[in-house]
Amino acid sequence: MIYRYGIECPGCQARLLLRVSVGAEIEQPFFVVCGRCHTVIKGKQVLRYEPHPGARLEMESAKLIDPQSEGPFVETISLNPDLPARRTATQMADEGGSSFLHNAQLLGTSLVETMRRIGLFRSIVSEDGAGLRRLGNFYLNKDWQRFQEEGRRLFGKNWPEPKKEWQYHDVLPRVFLMAYHPLLIGDWFQRFVKEWSDFLSSNKARLPEQRAFAEGLLAEGRVGDLQRLVLERFDFMATHKSALLAAIPAELYEDGMEKAIAELRLPRDDFDVLKGHYVDCYELAHRVLSILVGTINVVERGHQDSFDATICAALAAKGMNNFKNVPTLAVFEDRPNGPKRAFLKSVPLCEQMWDALLERELRNAVGHYGARHDLQTGMIIVDGKPHCSYLEFVVKTIRMTHVLLCLLHVLKMCHIQKLLTDPAPATATSVAAKPLKNRFKKRKPKK
């Protein structure tokens, strides 16, 4: 369904015809760029169902004109606020003039799966978003009775009915895996879980020290604080689903479409809210990284403060003298985050994930006070220079979901290590490696 509107460009007074697709939201914000004077024009389409279905356009600065009135239109701009579009397409006849058809072409056989993922995530967070928030709060308050009731209400027959305390902890990442599964392209989480569980049980002689380290973290209240912060990030994603979902197709385009993809831009702008989320996820991951590295130190050298001397020396040789001597884990935490991933050498998949999903350059770029989304070009501009397209940034923001789930798993294992005599029971890890319901076939992560 498409509505047609006439507007007058506030920059050059050109008469423009807008063809706006009906999106998933009642209020659909978007922007267009005048092809003649390059003025950015912001507005939103507001749907109504009563007394009969229809829509109206609200523009920030442009004057509305009757599309049926006399006079030709200088330009026709078609847009679907929920999909990436070709920036240079201004007429329906142009390649990419219809963003839906253009996306269908780029997605090929993945079109159905893409639309299903978008629809599924939207319905999960609309129907169960509040329930998931409650479930998270009952968990953090250790109100196991209400946690159980909410879990049954949300998941019905799929709720695994946890009975012991370690099972309540075990179920939490699985709940979020199931709810956020539509956003996950690739199986980072499953591979991470396996690697971390194997690592935790790799040195039986260190199990008492591992347990003591986990107990210390729990006693400080650190694990609970970090879990709360991770759950807040999940909640943020539910609230800002429309900002994120518009970029989902870009994750699933067919190979060989790179040139076409580089020209795509999103017709909506949520940079101001999403940049904070990206930075928060990055910083949060590095707080949990201290737990990962502390655990590696314990398993390999018997104490959380015992850092790998060869890694310290290698970093110092590269000029990072901050890491030449790291006397304690507390000192490590105060050091700059960028080089810390080098200490993940013993868990190569985790290190790979850190490099692939937690980009220091992007974190610094979007965290820069002068970073902005230039709507005319669709690029993120930092210090006057383009860094990457806004679409690419949103795709990378969606990929943080993999990281958040892995963080939740690491924090869960702290509880489980404390509660169980055998810190890495086969049941806890093998169950966690699978979502409750495997709704989609697994795909290899795209480069």
Give the footprint of Zn ion on this chain (CB under 5 A): 9, 11-12, 14, 34, 36-37, 39
- Mutual orientation of helices 271-301 and 390-419 as an angle, nearest 10°? 40
Quickly count: other Cβ atoms within 10 Å of residue 243's Cβ. 21
The smaller minimum CB distance to Zn ion, of residues 14 and 388, is found at 14
Q: How far is the CB of 39 from Zn ion (least distance, A)?
A: 5
Which tokens is 366 given?
């979007």
Following DSSP, what letter does each residue of 205-250 receive, concatenated?
Answer: GGHHHHHHHHHHHHHTTHHHHHHHHHHHHHHHHHHTHHHHHTTHHH
Measured distance CA(344)–CA(355) in Å, rounded = 11
The smaller minimum CB distance to Zn ion, of residues 59 and 212, is found at 59
The smaller minimum CB distance to Zn ion, of residues 39 and 137, is found at 39
Q: How far is the CB of 40 from Zn ion (least distance, A)?
A: 10
Measured distance CA(82)–CA(97) in Å, rounded = 15
Following DSSP, what letter does each residue of 18-38 receive, concatenated?
Answer: EEEE--SSSEEEEEEE-TTT-
The smaller minimum CB distance to Zn ion, of residues 43 and 84, is found at 43
The smaller minimum CB distance to Zn ion, of residues 15 and 335, is found at 15
Q: How far is the CB of 73 from Zn ion (least distance, A)?
A: 12
Q: How far is the CB of 78 from Zn ion (least distance, A)?
A: 17
* Degrees to nearest 5, angle at CA 447 with 186 and 231: 45
The smaller minimum CB distance to Zn ion, of residues 89 and 243, is found at 89
Distance of CA 190 to the CA centre of its chain: 17
Closest listed residue to residue 15, CA positions, set 43, 29, 36: 36
Q: How far is the CB of 34 from Zn ion (least distance, A)?
A: 3
Q: How far is the CB of 38 from Zn ion (least distance, A)?
A: 7
